[in-house]
A and B are shown apart, each in its own frame.
Chain A
Amino acid sequence: MKNHVLRPLWVAIAFIALAVLARYILVPKDFGVQGESFTYNFHRASNVQEWKDFPVKYLGKEVCVECHDENGEKLASSPHAVIQCENCHGPGLDHPETENPETMTIDRSRSLCMRCHTDLGYPPDSNRASIPAIAPNEHNVDSECVECHDSHNPDLEDM
């Protein structure tokens, strides 16, 4: 075969060889099929430990009430019983251990309340329709909700 025909072939072979070499150098040695299933176990083995070491930020209500039992009991008997503390108070990672335990950023914003309490005209069979709702553009527009409402016991009877 003539040289000018073979020349692109050498280029292609060189390109493939380069790709194979690059893969050999760049891909970690423990990357591949771990176990039997190709579909779910194609990963880097050491990555499993990395994710086990990844800190969990949300602790859950059960941890909060160990110290804040007063607020926990108040919340448990209120219409907000289903809400997790950390939804408003922020994730509790390192909370009691840090030098200043007052560092949790509490979200008292109107927009947080509006996530559930905006009147969206849902049909009556929707769970959303059973939540007390306001029109955010009409109901005390310039005030934060927590100025009048108690988030730990939002029952309108107790206001």
Chain B
Amino acid sequence: MTCSRRTLLKNAVKGAVAAALPVSAFKLLSPAQARAAVKESTVRWGFLVDTTKCVGCGMCVKACKIENEVPYDAPVTRTWVESHVECGRARSCSPAGVNPVPEGRPTTG
């Protein structure tokens, strides 16, 4: 088996990074624990969504509008659910953001 210098260096860097990451680095903290561990002013919050769990109900969109006091029926939006129109095999349709909600409201908010 041959091993070029480039491959060796690449693998060495990968190995070093992997060794530097203990399993505990992936522990999930509650917001209170995170605040206690770091000074509050330095906490940077992120927002993650597992899109494989999304069924397109659009309640996040509705909640976003209510929470931020945005008019519900006005076509102004920062949240939307990308979804597909009904046509047998739903996923093969063009992803034009057409909404599965029957009343035809765009799932945006």
Contacts and interface: CB of A to CB of B under 8 A. Distances in A.
> Interface SS of chain A: helix, strand, loop or mixed?
loop
B57 A121 contact: no
* Interface size band for B: 20 to 34
> Interface SS of chain B: helix, strand, loop or mixed?
loop
A127 B55 contact: yes
A121 B102 contact: no
B12 interface: no
B101 A111 contact: yes
Interface residues of A, number: 21
A123 B84 CA distance: 12
B67 A58 contact: yes
B12 to A, nearest CB: 33
A114 B101 contact: yes
B63 to A, nearest CB: 6
A122 B86 CA distance: 8
Interface string A82-103: 0010110001000000000000
A111 B67 contact: no
Given A111-B103, A122-B90, A128 B67 contact: no
A116 interface: yes
A56 B59 contact: no
Interface of B: 52-59, 63, 66-67, 86-91, 100-103
Interface of A: 56-58, 84, 86-87, 91, 111, 114-116, 118, 120-123, 126-128, 131, 136
18 contacts: A57-B66, A58-B63, A58-B66, A87-B59, A91-B66, A111-B102, A115-B57, A115-B59, A115-B101, A120-B90, A120-B100, A121-B87, A122-B91, A123-B90, A127-B54, A127-B55, A131-B55, A136-B102
8 smallest beta-carbon distances between A and B, as pairs: A115-B57, A128-B55, A114-B102, A116-B57, A120-B86, A120-B100, A122-B90, A111-B103
Given A111-B101, A111-B103, A136-B102, 11 more contacts: A56-B67, A57-B66, A91-B66, A115-B58, A115-B59, A116-B57, A120-B100, A121-B87, A121-B89, A123-B89, A128-B55
